[in-house]
Amino acid sequence: MNLVLFEPAETAAPLPRHDPRARHLLEVLRRGVGDTFDAGLVDGPRGKGTIAALATGFLTLTFSWDAAPPPPPDPIAIIVGLPRPQTARDLLRDCTTLGVASLDFIVTDKGDPNYATSSLWKSGEWRRHLVAGAQQAFATRLPTVAHGRTLEETLAKISGAASRLALDNYESPQSLAAVALSPPVALALGPERGWSEGERKLLRLRGFSLVHLGKRVLRTETAAIAALTLVRSRLGLM
């Protein structure tokens, strides 16, 4: 982790030695008493942490925070058909690392409904992957996340998106690389088996253009990162 993130309430309490952040400070960064490290508050400022004391079971930390607020989230909303849990973990982490405003994992006609009841979502584990992605990016902002809504429910909540794009391998007339983009952007990806005809009709009705990434069929996580990288580059966010 390039930045060690904390929730605001955690900064006033000792950090247990079994916490992954404590192990990272002691075993990877090899910090000791009096040493500093890069720290951040979730959705808050960055700054410096200092190891003030070491005890058998915990670390005592102090912090000083920068005055500058975190930058606003990048103006990109990702909508993706609920994938298998391991793919969702990758997307949560890597989309946060690249930078997006929101992630909506939706129930789709051709998707597996069991994915919505995975322990990833029920236990709250999903948030841990957002934090990991932000720490990698040396960032503090986390995207908003929703899961389990339908495509229609999610599209009804999308407002203000100047560019609306949906990846589709079958009926897309043009490449994502050829489309003119203006922020904010809404980017939709279907499940592993693709969009249904009804979903394509709904997407078009809500102003989405169907686009592709080329002739090759990509895995969901690969398509998401490739498309997101291309959108960010076109918007001048790289």
Write the pLDDT tens digit of every residue in 7-28: 999 999 999 999 999 999 999 9
> What domain range includes position 159?
76-234
Tokens linked to 7: 């929730």
Q: Is the pLDDT of residue 238 over 80?
A: no
> Residue 161 in 3-state DSSP?
coil
Spatial distance between the Cα atoms of 155 and 146, rounded to a whole number of angstroms: 13
Q: Is 121 part of a structural domain of the chain?
A: yes
CATH number, domain of 157, equals: 3.40.1280.10
CATH number, domain of 48, equals: 2.40.240.20
The number of domains in the chain is 2
Average pLDDT over every residue of 101-111:
95
pLDDT digits (tens, 9 = 90+) for 68-99: 888 889 999 999 999 999 999 999 999 999 99
> Rounded to the nearest 5°, which phi and psi values hold at 231?
-60, -45
pLDDT digits (tens, 9 = 90+) for 41-70: 999 999 999 999 999 999 999 999 998 888
- Domain boundary residue among 24, 44, 65? 65
Q: Are residues 219 and 130 in the same domain?
A: yes
Q: Are residues 26 and 110 in the same domain?
A: no
- Domain boundary residue among 20, 39, 65? 65
Global pTM?
Answer: 0.93
Q: Is the pLDDT of residue 145 over 90?
A: yes
